[in-house]
Chain A
Amino acid sequence: MDIILGTLQDAFFAAIASVGFASISNPPHRIYPVCAGIAAVGHSLRYVLMNAVDMHLVIASLCAATVIGLLAVFLAPRTKAPAEAVSFPALLPMIPGMYAYRTFQNLILCLRGSEEEFHHYFYLCGSNGLTCLAVLLVMAIGVTIPIFIFKRISFRATRQI
């Protein structure tokens, strides 16, 4: 029961976050609902994979990003917008912000402690930084691969028929 509630809540807030962050990049208005839907599916899929299946963050992010990329490639032609205009805003809620933040937090902490503290914080800095980088990379790979595989569809999306 908890997992269902958690998933729904996760989907809801991911949808809001994607619309808000999308608005910074001036998208066409008609993509907002599509964006919100895809972001909700993608982010809650990651939540389920991590909490119900106990999958690692990086693998779960790759799966979620691939699903977002696929959905975007097939839904983008309906909005007459390029696939990346739909999928990139939908991905934004998945950006590992807390890991990036902890990387810099521990970087500063390790510069002003004893040797033992240095080792501890340097380890935290490294592990958070690597996770952050890995997640960013697999997210980009996951979302871009469908665009490259289905080149015909993704670069025809803006055509008016």
Chain B
Amino acid sequence: MMENSAILQPGSSRDAEAAHLTVKDACVFLSQYASALLGCGATCIRIEKNVQRMAETIGVDYSMTIMPATVQITVWDKDRQHSYSNIQKIRKSGTSFNINTQLSRLSWDLHDGRVGFGEAAGRMERILQTRPENRWLVLVLASVANASFCRLFGGDFISMGIVFIATLVGFRIRQMMLEDKIDIRLAFVCASFVSSVIASAGYVFGLGSTPDIALGTSVLYLVPGVPYLNSMSDLLDGHYISFLSRFLDATVLTVCLSAGLCGGFLIMNLRWF
């Protein structure tokens, strides 16, 4: 590439080299930034807005394609003399609104001159090291949330208790399996299976007046709500490939949790109605 630049602009090979380096750094940074945003579950419109804001600040032209597992960016300098392309693999950090928020703020900080381009890459690395929420806190909050959910659907207080325990155990299984890097689909099947078996206590021991609601709600903490909403945002924005991939990802997980639920029914030999 460097030889090419020198031929394009004879006599100013040093400038050309500098211009090329800028373009290359910008491309590497922007593609890593976009793939990090994609990996933390940001919507496509946000990725585009943030990348555009930073490209303007750095002073380069760019074109970007957002695919389900990669981001492709080509960056040009303003004179259209030098370009650099990068296909960056998605950097999965799990859905994290915290990382999403900090990365979005980084784009504004760069825009407003609070962070120089040289420091931006380091800042991004530090943001990506953000520790996830304390898992025990999440465990308790999610269980309380699912119990409240049961109440919203009209369950009584005994059903809420059953759902709380079912969620506590199921969610812990999900956490443990994901920490052990076990396939997420298998983790969902196992978690929903265990949750539904525990929640069938309402039927088996005749507890409470709404055992059907307890059983139905017990697996709902697994429904991937944020990916569904993200996919709809992409649909409305015209990013159909991203919409389909996110929607299908969420659907596969929903099918997995239903499979676990069916397994629970089978083993407990439950009959509805």
Q: Measuring CB to CB, which residues of chain A are less than 8 angstroms from any residue of chain B?
A: 9-10, 13-14, 16-28, 31, 43, 80-82, 84-85, 88-89, 91-93, 95, 97-98, 100-102, 104-105, 108-109, 136-137, 139-141, 143-145, 147-148, 155-160
Contact = CB atoms under 8 A, between A and B. Distances in A.
B106 to A, nearest CB: 9
A145 B143 CA distance: 31
A105 B272 CA distance: 8
Contacts of B137: 23
A16 B216 CA distance: 19
Contacts of A27: 97-98, 101
Contacts of A84: 43, 46, 97, 229-230, 233
Contacts, number: 167
A155 B153 contact: no
Given A100-B254, A158-B105, A93 B149 contact: yes
Interface of B: 41-43, 45-46, 49, 94-102, 104-105, 107-109, 111-112, 114, 132-133, 137-138, 141-146, 148-149, 151-153, 213, 216-217, 219-221, 223, 225-226, 228-230, 232-233, 235-237, 254, 258, 261-262, 265, 272
A82 B254 CA distance: 27
Contacts of B235: 140
Contacts of B43: 84
Nearest to B216: A101
B228 A136 contact: yes
A150 B121 CA distance: 30
A98 B96 contact: no
Contact of B104 (A43, A82, A105, A108): A82
B98 A26 contact: yes
Contacts of B95: 24-26
B144 A20 contact: yes
B225 A95 contact: yes
A145 B45 CA distance: 13
B149 A28 contact: no
Contact of A159 (B94, B97, B112, B262): B112
